[in-house]
Amino acid sequence: MADKYSKFGPAPRTPSSMQRSYLLSIDFKVTSITEWAAQLKINPLYAILSGFEPGNTPGVGTFYDFINRLWNSDDDHMSPHIHPLKTKVKKPKTKGTKADSVSTGLIHPDSLALAGDGTPVVTSHRERKKRICKCKDNGITDCKCDRYFSQPDCDIGWDSSRDCYYHGYDLYMLVDSQSDLPVFPHFCCASKHDSHGFLHALFRMKFKCPKISHKNGCISCTCETPCSDAKYGRTVHLVMKDTPRLFNNPPRSSKEWKLEYNARTSAERSNKREKLDFKLEDGRHRSTKMWYCRLYHILMLQHLDAWDLPFESTLRKLILNVA
């Protein structure tokens, strides 16, 4: 992160200590950065674990400055604040419709088996928007003019598990089905169906070069040895002549297909870890930048927990030694 800091002025806080401290706040279930900054000043142990000297800890603004450096964009959202009103989501007729771990051997890139699933993420109890037109002053209360949305990337969707409407995102997560570890997350608006979330997540993960930088409206390749002269980098074109959902391999409804289909529960287990164990929805943020930052650090904690797990149980080792 050296390019994110100025070479002039006072020495900044060490980025690794800032990130370690933010990870600790999530692991200790402290959902407010303001509260965590206060805890660092009160509890010397939190400061030492973070890598700071007791009595010399960062304030709230320092944490937000660090998060701004992690977000490689000048805008805190993916969409503009002003846009037209969206059509109301219809309630479905039936209920329920709708990489360090590579080096440790937890994820095998040569035989990667992915499972994907979407899950609702509630960001607020209601949709926050305000008028920017003068229609109400003229007696028109039901105009269709554009509104200013405080969370432009969120909208209203239907939660089939809770059987209610909600405002927020639809998080589509791609998970390694062998280790239940998250591989790639993608926030969609709540009204988007999982089939669209899958396509966005898959194409963003495998078909876009991570060395392409989008900064200040300019697109450039940051790789030292570019593989292509195109500003977008090497491009992959796909031609789908059939429908893989119907004509898949192994054949649909076969025994092998059922075994593969059962692996989808790994995504549900991963989503449970993020939403219940690490309290993803408890973050009271207004910007997609903050939600992505919180989400990615939760995913880091999932991988960190997996690193500490033994590869073989003690009972298994005893049995093998006796045999």
The closest alpha carbon to 36, from 59, 52, 70, 55, belongs to: 59
What span, in angstroms and rounded, lies between the C-alpha atoms of 157 and 162?
12
Name the residue ranges covered by the structural domains of the chain.
1-70, 79-322
| Per-residue CA distances from 322 to 246, 310, 314 (Å) | 50, 20, 12
Per-residue pLDDT of the chain (323 residues; tens, 9 = 90+): 888 888 888 889 999 999 999 999 999 999 999 999 999 999 999 999 999 999 999 999 999 999 999 998 889 998 889 988 877 777 766 665 554 567 777 787 777 788 888 999 999 988 888 889 989 888 888 888 999 999 999 999 988 888 889 999 999 999 988 888 999 999 999 988 888 888 888 888 876 676 777 666 677 777 888 887 776 677 666 565 656 666 667 777 788 877 777 777 888 889 999 999 999 999 889 899 999 999 999 999 999 888 876 555 555 555 556 54
**DSSP conformation class of 56:** B
For residue 20, the one-letter residue type is R
What are 148-179's pLDDT values in tens digits? 999 999 999 988 888 889 999 999 999 988 88
What span, in angstroms and rounded, lies between the C-alpha atoms of 221 and 235?
13
What are 28-44's pLDDT values in tens digits? 999 999 999 999 999 99
For residue 167, the one-letter residue type is H
**Residue 99 pLDDT:** 43
